[in-house]
Amino acid sequence: MTRAREESERAAESRVQRIRDQHAAELSELERAERTLQERCSELKGRLGEAEGESVRLQGLVRQKEKELAHLRAVNEQLVSERSGLAE
């Protein structure tokens, strides 16, 4: 009876240990996955910051080109007007 009880206890302890080992492995894998995701998140935040900076730079460039275009159109209209005046 004692031997059967000891074997039963050893079997139960063995099962508990297997479950603990399995949970420890799962926890380790989840922690590794979390670290990987945090690194990816940091990388993406950095890339987003760069993209936002590039966007601001390009918007400034667009405004500058729009001003240049408006100025060139004004010069063009003036030259067309002068040409019309000379033709008359």
- Tell whether the torsion through CA atoms of 34, 38, 39 and 43 is positive or negative: positive
Confidence of residue 86 (pLDDT cuts 50, 70, 90): confident
- Cα separation of 36 and 76, whole Å? 58
- Cα separation of 39 and 55, whole Å? 24
pLDDT digits (tens, 9 = 90+) for 9-54: 999 999 999 999 999 999 999 999 999 999 999 999 999 999 999 9
How many Cβ atoms are within 10 Å of 79's Cβ, its own excluded?
10
| pLDDT for position 87 | 79
